[in-house]
C-alpha cells in the first residue's frame, strides 16, 4: 500500500497535533500510523504520520504547498516522502561479508524497501557475491599513505548514483570530515561495540580485556567525531569467560548485522528524527 510519510520536528506548544490532524482530515487523509513525542529536556515536539496516498487528493508537490503555512506557523523542520519513490542506497564494505550479505539478502527478499545503487569496497573479495545480485560493484582501493584519491572517487560515485543514503557495512575506513559534513544524517555506520564503550579499533579485544559479560553493536549516523554520532539502534549478546575473542567476533557478527538491518530499516521508513546528538525513533 502506497503511503506518504509526514515527519515533523518543532518547538513544543499547544495545538500542533490538532492543526496537523485537521489538515489531514480536511483533505480526507487516512492515517495508518501516527506517533508523537514531546521532549521535556529540549522543549521540542516530534511527530510522524503515515497516510494512505490514495486517500489524499494531491501528490507530494501539492501537499508541500498546502502544508507550508502550517509548517511556517509552528517553525517546523519537516519533510514528506512517498513510499513509491524508493530511496537510493550505496553500500560500502571491506572484506568481511556478514553485514553486506545480510543487507543484500533482505533487499533481494523485498524486506528492505530501497534501491541499492551500487556497492563500493576497498577490496575486491565480495565482487562476485554483489554481482550475483545484479548490483554494480566498484573496487576503490585505499592507499594508506594517501587516502585522498580514494575518497575523491568514493565521493564521485556516491554523487554519480545520486545516493540518498550511504551505509558503511563494516567498511573499516574512516570517512574524511568533508564527506561526513556533506552527508550529515545520511551516512549510517555499524560499530562493533556497545557505544560509548570501546570506541575505535578492535573493540572485541578491548571488551575481552575489560572482561565484560555482554558485547554489543551500535548503528549510528556518522559525524566528524569517530563513533560519536547520533545512535539509531543498539543490541547486545551475552558472553562468558569461556568465549575467546574469536567467539566474541562470531557472536558479534550476528548482533552487528541485526542492528544494522534494523537501523537502516528505520531510516528508510523515515522513522528516525535527529535532534542534537540524539535520535527519536518512531
Cis peptide before 196, with omega less than 30 degrees from 0? yes
Judged by the rule CB under 8 A, the positions of this chain that interact with a copy of itself are 14-15, 17-19, 21-22, 24-26, 28-34, 36-41, 46, 55, 97-98, 101-102, 105, 108-109, 111, 128-129, 132, 194-198, 208, 210-214, 216, 230-236, 240-242, 244, 250, 253-254, 258, 277-281
Residue closer to a copy of itself (CB basis): 118 or 259: 259
- Taking the C-alpha atoms of residue 95 and residue 103, their distance in angstroms, rounded to an integer, is 15
Residue closer to a copy of itself (CB basis): 46 or 137: 46
Rounded least distance, CB 219 to a copy of itself, Å:
9
Residue closer to a copy of itself (CB basis): 164 or 233: 233
Rounded least distance, CB 41 to a copy of itself, Å:
8
Residue closer to a copy of itself (CB basis): 33 or 73: 33
- Taking the C-alpha atoms of residue 59 and residue 81, their distance in angstroms, rounded to an integer, is 10
Sign of the dihedral through C-alpha 254, 255, 258, 264: negative
Residue closer to a copy of itself (CB basis): 37 or 147: 37
Sign of the dihedral through C-alpha 214, 220, 222, 228: negative
Q: Assess contact for 91 and 100: CB atoms under 8 A.
A: yes
- Taking the C-alpha atoms of residue 117 and residue 100, their distance in angstroms, rounded to an integer, is 14
Residues with Cβ within 8 Å of residue 266, at least 6 apart in sequence: 232, 233, 272, 281
Rounded least distance, CB 155 to a copy of itself, Å:
28
Rounded least distance, CB 278 to a copy of itself, Å:
3
Residues with Cβ within 8 Å of residue 128, at least 6 apart in sequence: none
Show which residues are catalytic: 227
Rounded least distance, CB 17 to a copy of itself, Å:
5
- Kindly state the cell numbers that stand for 262: 534494523
Amino acid at each position: 500500500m502506497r503511503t506518504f510519510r509526514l515527519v515533523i520536528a518543532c518547538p513544543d506548544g499547544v495545538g500542533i497535533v490538532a492543526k496537523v490532524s485537521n489538515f489531514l482530515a480536511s483533505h480526507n487523509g487516512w492515517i495508518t500510523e501516527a506517533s508523537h513525542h514531546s521532549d521535556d529536556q529540549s522543549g521540542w515536539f516530534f511527530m510522524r504520520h503515515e497516510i494512505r496516498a490514495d486517500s489524499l487528493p494531491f501528490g507530494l508537490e501539492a501537499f508541500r504547498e498546502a502544508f507550508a503555512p502550517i509548517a511556517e506557523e509552528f517553525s517546523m523542520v519537516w519533510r514528506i516522502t512517498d513510499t513509491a519513490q524508493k530511496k537510493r542506497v550505496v553500500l560500502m564494505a571491506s572484506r568481511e561479508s556478514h553485514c553486506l550479505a545480510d543487507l543484500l539478502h533482505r533487499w533481494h527478499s523485498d524486506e528492505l524497501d530501497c534501491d541499492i545503487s551500487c556497492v563500493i569496497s576497498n577490496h575486491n573479495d565480495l565482487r562476485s557475491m554483489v554481482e550475483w545480485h545484479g548490483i554494480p560493484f566498484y573496487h576503490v582501493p585505499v592507499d594508506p599513505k594517501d587516502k585522498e584519491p580514494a575518497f575523491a572517487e568514493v565521493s564521485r560515485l556516491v554523487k554519480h548514483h545520486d545516493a540518498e543514503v550511504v551505509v558503511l557495512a563494516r567498511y573499516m575506513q574512516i570517512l574524511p570530515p568533508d564527506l561526513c559534513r556533506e552527508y550529515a544524517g545520511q551516512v549510517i555506520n555499524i560499530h562493533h561495540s556497545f557505544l560509548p564503550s570501546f570506541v575505535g579499533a578492535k573493540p572485541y579485544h578491548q571488551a575481552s580485556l575489560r572482561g565484560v559479560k555482554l558485547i554489543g553493536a551500535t548503528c549510528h549516523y556518522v559525524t566528524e567525531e569517530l563513533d560519536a554520532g547520533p545512535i539509531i539502534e543498539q543490541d547486545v549478546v551475552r558472553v562468558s569467560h569461556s568465549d575467546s575473542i574469536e567467539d566474541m567476533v562470531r557472536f558479534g557478527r550476528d548482533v552487528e548485522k541485526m542492528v544494522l538491518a534494523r537501523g537502516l530499516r528505520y531510516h528508510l521508513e523515515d522513522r528516525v528524527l535527529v535532534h542534537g546528538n540524539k535520535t527519536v525513533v518512531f
